[in-house]
A and B are shown apart, each in its own frame.
Chain A
Amino acid sequence: MENHLISLMLVAPFVGAVLQALLPAGTGARTFGRSTARLVALGASLISSLAGAALVFSMQTHTADLQMIESHPWIGAYSIQYAMGMDGLNAPLVLLLSILFPILIAAEWDRPRGERGVHGLFLILQAALVGAVCAQDIFLQFFFWTLSALPFYFLVGVWGGKRRESAAFRLVVTSAIGNALLLAALILIYHSIEPHSFLIQDLAGGKLVGKTFDFLGYTLSVPSVAFILIGAGLALRIPIWPVHGWFTLVSEEAPMTVVVALSAITVPVGAYIFQRLGYSLFPATFLHFAPAIVVVGAVNLVIGTICAIAQRDLRTLLAYICLVQLGLVLVGMGSLSSPGTVGAIYLQLVMGLGIAGFGIFANSILQRTGMSWFFDEEGKRTLGGVALQAPALATVAALAVASLLGVPGFGGFVGSTLVVIGSYSVSPGMVVLACVATLLSGYYLFTMYRNVFLGEASSELSSAKFQDLTFGERAYLLPLVGCLLFFGLYPKPLIELVRPTVLTLLSTIK
């Protein structure tokens, strides 16, 4: 069955972004041009999201085959194809993109200046990430993945805080280096097999095993070098300790919604690309490096947890939570057991939802008080007692925190439990480590919650009226909270979609 829903999902945001640039400008707060542009942005994003949801719901379960395939030649001379498709590995990511982007655009609805630019860049980002998730040709995937770095540069550079210059500069430099490494891997892979190809299905199944190339007199193995290059290239785009410095800086300086787009959407997509390429292109190499991946994940988990305990700012706390969650995903991925891998994929979705919930309530607090920190430099509480004045906001925050903690009944519980079960096969020590990390996450998340929402209001807050969630905010937070609960209470359909693909891939690895 050939349908063009994936292309629709890709093209609609692009068209929306172009319209943002072309629609007549309005100057006042409520001019016709301005409201039209906003509605067009939301509409374009929603069309893409509905197409994504329709795709995921119409997928067949109990099969590991690639579905919804679209394929056309693009650059024939280099056998580069526009090849798109979905299977259990990327379906959760498509859901994540579909859920979060309209919410982000809605969250930037009332930006006082330049909301059109923010919307346009978010739409380009949505299209780029959809392309990176669905592409079945590594050139195409690389193309969209690198495209996704550009909007961040402008989003941070134009709308960021005081240190936005250095944040944007570090963002661009690290992603340029990461992309260069990926490109090197791409060229290496392309030229090592005959006939040259970029299609994942042509490269999959150990076609690269045993290929070597000569470099400065040394004979090197193609899969090992390409795998290391891909791993390093992606590590520079998603926060892996010790190269996460740019990430925390960007988290401090970027607008809150941009931080959400980076940590809740781009990071899971980066993890997905690593998983997709690692599992299908280099099965033997992945098996060989699996313990190292688990160690990297565990280090991320530990360092993220320790740093998160020390944070007094919602922004940096969010950054380290992202590190912790990514560590869990990597542990699950490297465990190479069926529950661990399914858990890692599930966690990619729910970590995105949880972090987005966290980021959006932090955004609401930031908009109302102008503060994202809950202790000032002298250790005095700056927020507090928000729950009394804004019960709805406190409820949403509690739900997001619960999911990040892994409380039963929330999405995070399913994901992290599966990862912990799966990691037992690697070593029992991992289970202990993961449990301690979860306990500590209870500590820092509840400390944050207590200091922001409970207790007495600080002197600054008690004088001013703290407004609860507006109708618009409730409207876009409802789907997010609903999804968090749904994926926690009824994970079966999604897991049935993911499991066959995982089992097939794992069988080729072992």
Chain B
Amino acid sequence: MREFVLILPEVILAVTLAFVVVAELTYHGEQLRFVTVSTLLGLVAAFVQTFTTYRHVPVAVFSGAVSIDGVSLFFKLLSIALAGLSIVAASHSEEIPPGRRTEFSALVLAATLAMCLAASASDMLLIFLSLQLLNIVVFFIAGYGKRSLFSIEAGVKYLIFSGVAGVLLLYGLAVLFSITHSLNIYEAHRAFMVASVPRTQVLIIFMLIFLSLGSQVAGFPMYLWAPDVLEGAPTPASGFIVVATRMTGFAIAIRFLIGVFAQSSLTNGNWEIVGDFNWPTIVAVVSGITMLVGSFLALRQNRAKRMVGCLAITQSGFLLLGILVLDQVGVAALLYNLVIELFAFVGIFYILSYFYEQLHSDNLNDLRGMLNQSVPECICLVLFLLCLVGMPPAPGFIGKFTLIGAIVRHQWWGLATLAILSSALSTVAIARLAFHLIGDATLLKKFQSESRSFERKAFLVVLLVPMLLAGLFANSVLNWAGKSLSYILW
């Protein structure tokens, strides 16, 4: 019974999902509006339940297959918040037509369930299965606009990439299993430490798993799906996809890479690598290239959604910095950044979806003059973007600063230079977008009548306020992230 109580957030999500599916079968017409409300109620219940679970951490349930600890609860809270915000954002958009909102809610709920499972999975099979569930659902979400060629392309592209990534992960896990003879990652870690594994074998295992996770977080060389999928998917769905896939990737990366390939070092709050295979260098190279590639690509884009997709790649490169330093400060900085980017990405795609509805385009040339047309939306868009790339003094800057500070502590000066360079390049990319936003107001068609002006502003405030507070009270958020790490089962 206790085990059941501990996974109650997932259970609530599953029940809500079932309810939404049943509701879709039985209700028609205008009653559909209730789906958004009931989904949100389910999410709120799961959110609250996750909070109450904090009393019991850390604990492993279901014979060690599921770890309920600080990190998993942290990611669960973020996932559920993301789902709630995305559903509200989608309900303001015409790209998800009212008649099909039920499907969208069901898909988002299923993806959230997968994210929550992945966040607490400590069994290799469960990790694999929850990732597959997430990726299949994301495939449906990306291909949701089935009348649009771009959306179909996005869905298929995501399916192919996640399929390849899944196979790589499975091979990696299989080779690891052949050495450790255990599917539980903690037992695998202990077996891995005792067995003296040849370097090449560790290299193969690590590369297979890391490439798979790299695809999940859109890191080099598996980043190619990100711009296409984020451009093609319906805009509110892009906001969900970009955070959901990458966040889950990082949750697994933290638990798996650090849990299996590193061990607690003698100094408090640090880890050191197991054996003599220096994998942080690989992560460092990948992170550096990802940051540069992302920011250079962002400079070249002519479509706003694609550009944000490229910025997401840069962001992934930054977040990888938090893992490779192998200390709690770095991982806490990573978690802090995830909090900020959750609000930033949802906000960016929310505003872009509003523009898309008005103009039926996200081409930079078509966005010219928007600043005169809808001032609050444009200012918020620029703020969210600046926050995302961490231009000072936006809250994201503190996140970037903590990450760069973490690598400088370990004397990675070259990588720190790359990070600052790519930050400046991303700012220039955003300046390009902002340049077009100013534009010439006379060229722009007059907008349709404003039906949802108040709701939209209220939702923007809902997104902006927590983000700004997270910057102002960075200390508390960083403490929370740090505490989450200290309540983790390694």
Whether chains A and B associate is yes
How distant is A217 from chain B, measured CB to nearest CB, in Å? 10
Does B431 belong to the interface (CB within 8 Å)? yes
**How many chain B residues have a CB neighbour from A under 8 Å?**
40
A77 (CB) vs chain B CBs: closest residue = B478
Cβ of B438 and Cβ of A157 under 8 Å apart?
A: yes
Known: A176-B427, A180-B420, A187-B416. A143 touches B434 (CB 8 A): no
Cβ of A144 and Cβ of B434 under 8 Å apart?
A: no
Cβ of B411 and Cβ of A143 under 8 Å apart?
A: no
For window 62-76 of A, CB contacts with B under 8 Å fall at: 73-76
Q: Which listed segment binds B: A166-174, A351-359, A418-426, A453-461?
A: A166-174
How distant is B401 from chain A, measured CB to nearest CB, in Å? 8
Q: Chain A residues near B393 (CB, 8 Å)?
A: 143-144, 146-147
Q: Chain A residues near B438 (CB, 8 Å)?
A: 157-158, 164-165, 168
Q: Which listed segment binds B: A208-216, A292-300, A306-314?
A: A208-216
Cβ of A191 and Cβ of B405 under 8 Å apart?
A: yes
Given contacts A146-B392, A172-B431, 4 further A-B contacts (CB under 8 A): A77-B402, A143-B397, A146-B393, A184-B416
Cβ of A77 and Cβ of B434 under 8 Å apart?
A: no
A176 (CB) vs chain B CBs: closest residue = B427
Cβ of A184 and Cβ of B478 under 8 Å apart?
A: no
For window 392-450 of B, CB contacts with A under 8 Å fall at: 392-393, 397-398, 401-402, 404-405, 408-409, 411, 413-414, 416-417, 420-421, 423-424, 427-428, 431-432, 434-435, 437-439
- What range describes how many residues of A lie at the interface? 35 or more
Cβ of B413 and Cβ of A168 under 8 Å apart?
A: no
Q: Which listed segment binds A: B122-130, B200-208, B338-346, B371-379?
A: B371-379
Does A183 belong to the interface (CB within 8 Å)? yes
14 residue pairs of the A-B complex, CB under 8 angstroms, read A76-B475, A143-B393, A147-B392, A158-B371, A176-B424, A176-B428, A176-B431, A180-B420, A180-B424, A180-B427, A190-B405, A191-B405, A191-B409, A214-B411
**Most A CB atoms within 10 A — which of B428, B435, B437, B439?**
B435
Does B365 belong to the interface (CB within 8 Å)? no
Q: Chain A residues near B115 (CB, 8 Å)?
A: none
Known: A147-B393, A179-B392, A183-B420. A78 touches B413 (CB 8 A): no
For window 436-487 of B, CB contacts with A under 8 Å fall at: 437-439, 474-475, 478-479, 482
Cβ of B475 and Cβ of A75 under 8 Å apart?
A: yes
How distant is A132 from chain B, measured CB to nearest CB, in Å? 11
Give me the 3 closest cross-chain CB pairs, A-B, nearest first: A146-B392, A180-B424, A176-B427
Does B391 belong to the interface (CB within 8 Å)? yes
For the complex, what is the distance from the CA of A106 to the CA of B423, rounded to whole Å? 38
Does A241 belong to the interface (CB within 8 Å)? no
Among B329, B402, B409, B434, the residue within 8 A (CB) of A157 is B434
B386 (CB) vs chain A CBs: closest residue = A150
Does A375 belong to the interface (CB within 8 Å)? no
For window 176-228 of A, CB contacts with B under 8 Å fall at: 176-177, 179-180, 183-184, 187, 190-191, 213-216
Does A154 belong to the interface (CB within 8 Å)? yes
How distant is B339 from chain A, measured CB to nearest CB, in Å? 15
For the complex, what is the distance from the CA of A74 to the CA of B398, rounded to whole Å? 12
For the complex, what is the distance from the CA of A144 to the CA of B392, rounded to whole Å? 9
Known: A184-B420, A216-B414. A153 touches B405 (CB 8 A): no
Among A168, A179, A216, the residue within 8 A (CB) of B434 is A168
Q: Chain A residues near B398 (CB, 8 Å)?
A: 75
For the complex, what is the distance from the CA of A12 to the CA of B240, rounded to whole Å? 38
Among B379, B386, B392, B435, the residue within 8 A (CB) of A183 is B392
How distant is A162 from chain B, measured CB to nearest CB, in Å? 9
Cβ of B435 and Cβ of A169 under 8 Å apart?
A: yes
Q: Chain B residues near A153 (CB, 8 Å)?
A: 434
Cβ of B413 and Cβ of A215 under 8 Å apart?
A: yes
Q: Chain B residues near A75 (CB, 8 Å)?
A: 398, 474-475, 478
A21 (CB) vs chain B CBs: closest residue = B376
Cβ of A169 and Cβ of B431 under 8 Å apart?
A: yes
For the complex, what is the distance from the CA of A216 to the CA of B375, rounded to whole Å? 46
A157 (CB) vs chain B CBs: closest residue = B438
Among A78, A158, A214, the residue within 8 A (CB) of B372 is A158
Cβ of A187 and Cβ of B439 under 8 Å apart?
A: no
Q: Chain A residues near B411 (CB, 8 Å)?
A: 214
Does A142 belong to the interface (CB within 8 Å)? yes
Q: Chain B residues near A85 (CB, 8 Å)?
A: none
Does A117 belong to the interface (CB within 8 Å)? yes
Cβ of B435 and Cβ of A177 under 8 Å apart?
A: no
Among B392, B428, B474, the residue within 8 A (CB) of A142 is B392
For the complex, what is the distance from the CA of A166 to the CA of B438, rounded to whole Å? 10
Cβ of B439 and Cβ of A117 under 8 Å apart?
A: no
Annotate B253-266 by CB proximity to A: 1 below 8 A, 0 otherwise. Answer: 00000000000000
How distant is A9 from chain B, measured CB to nearest CB, in Å? 18
**Most A CB atoms within 10 A — which of B371, B392, B408, B439?**
B392
For the complex, what is the distance from the CA of A214 to the CA of B416, rounded to whole Å? 13
Known: A75-B398, A157-B438, A165-B438. A176 touches B391 (CB 8 A): yes
Q: Chain B residues near A166 (CB, 8 Å)?
A: 435
Q: Chain B residues near A190 (CB, 8 Å)?
A: 405
How distant is A29 from chain B, measured CB to nearest CB, in Å? 20
Q: Chain A residues near B437 (CB, 8 Å)?
A: 157
Annotate A75-92 by CB proximity to B: 1 below 8 A, 0 otherwise. Answer: 111100000000000000
B479 (CB) vs chain A CBs: closest residue = A77
How distant is B114 from chain A, measured CB to nearest CB, in Å? 33
Known: A75-B398, A146-B392, A158-B372. A215 touches B414 (CB 8 A): yes
Cβ of B475 and Cβ of A173 under 8 Å apart?
A: no
Q: Chain A residues near B424 (CB, 8 Å)?
A: 176-177, 180
For the complex, what is the distance from the CA of A143 to the CA of B397, rounded to whole Å? 9
For the complex, what is the distance from the CA of A176 to the CA of B421, rounded to whole Å? 10
Q: Chain A residues near B474 (CB, 8 Å)?
A: 74-75
For the complex, what is the distance from the CA of A216 to the CA of B416, rounded to whole Å? 12
How distant is B229 from chain A, measured CB to nearest CB, in Å? 28
For the complex, what is the distance from the CA of A57 to the CA of B409, rounded to whole Å? 44
Q: Chain A residues near B420 (CB, 8 Å)?
A: 180, 183-184
Cβ of A74 and Cβ of B475 under 8 Å apart?
A: yes
For window 157-197 of B, CB contacts with A under 8 Å fall at: none
For the complex, what is the distance from the CA of A73 to the CA of B473, rounded to whole Å? 11
How distant is B427 from chain A, measured CB to nearest CB, in Å? 4
B408 (CB) vs chain A CBs: closest residue = A191
Among A73, A154, A180, the residue within 8 A (CB) of B379 is A154
Q: Chain A residues near B402 (CB, 8 Å)?
A: 77-78
Cβ of A165 and Cβ of B392 under 8 Å apart?
A: no
For the complex, what is the distance from the CA of A138 to the CA of B474, rounded to whole Å? 17
Q: Chain B residues near A146 (CB, 8 Å)?
A: 391-393, 397
Annotate A233-277 by CB proximity to B: 1 below 8 A, 0 otherwise. Answer: 000000000000000000000000000000000000000000000
Cβ of B428 and Cβ of A179 under 8 Å apart?
A: no
Cβ of B413 and Cβ of A213 under 8 Å apart?
A: yes
For the complex, what is the distance from the CA of A1 to the CA of B411, rounded to whole Å? 42
For the complex, what is the distance from the CA of A172 to the CA of B430, rounded to whole Å? 10
Among B408, B409, B421, B428, the residue within 8 A (CB) of A173 is B428
For the complex, what is the distance from the CA of A352 to the CA of B375, rounded to whole Å? 32
How distant is A492 from chain B, measured CB to nearest CB, in Å? 38
For the complex, what is the distance from the CA of A160 to the CA of B384, rounded to whole Å? 24
